[in-house]
Amino acid sequence: MMQPITLKVYGDPKGQPRPKAFSRGGHAAVYDPGTAEAWKSQIAMAAKEEGVVGLMLDIPLRVEIHAFFKRPKSHFRSGKNAHLLKSAAPQLNTSKPDFDNIGKAACDALTHLGVWKDDAQVVDGRVVKKFSDGMAITIITINEISL
């Protein structure tokens, strides 16, 4: 049984964008907007720090992603109490990016880094979006599935 792998990825979590199509000169083409590339680079740094780049796991895996977003200013009171949360400030983040796009971006990055052979090996997973009272951070935990 493998030891769990935990990656701490700093920065705003980003979702994998949908491919965009365009036509130029009568020829159609598709491109990736690349809006998640900076966050994927942060995932790469975390994977390098943990020494899991090129690990090439070839077993069924569970991936849990806990994405903590920095709170918007509208969640805080004003004036001398600007450091305090409003009583109606939510704990869970129901805004963009979508949870499935966060998971897709993270798993694609980890596949590209060779942490596992293919992200099809991820047979169980969870993405939780919450607000952080501090900095934006994402905790990615990878575990072997034992039946």
Domain that holds residue 124: 1-9+36-71+92-147
Span 49-75, pLDDT tens digits: 999 999 999 999 999 999 999 999 999
pLDDT reading at 24 higher than 80: no
pLDDT, residue 31, reads 61
Query: Is 102 among the domain residues?
Result: yes
Query: Number of structural domains, the chain?
Result: 1
Query: Is 78 among the domain residues?
Result: no
Identify the CATH number of the domain in which residue 104 sits.
3.30.1330.70
Query: Is 136 among the domain residues?
Result: yes
Whether the CB-CB separation of 79 and 142 falls below 8 Å is answered with no
Query: Is 26 among the domain residues?
Result: no
pLDDT, residue 32, reads 64
**Three-class secondary structure assignment of 65-112:** EEEEEECCHHHECCHHHCCCECCCCCCECCCCCCHHHHHHHHHHHHHH
Residues 6+ apart with CB under 8 A from 133: 71, 85
pLDDT reading at 41 higher than 90: yes
Percent of the chain with pLDDT over 70: 94
Mean pLDDT of the chain: 92
Residue 63 φ/ψ, nearest 5 degrees: -120, 125
Span 80-124, pLDDT tens digits: 999 999 999 999 999 999 999 999 999 999 999 999 999 999 999
pLDDT, residue 16, reads 84
Query: Is 18 among the domain residues?
Result: no
Query: Is 84 among the domain residues?
Result: no
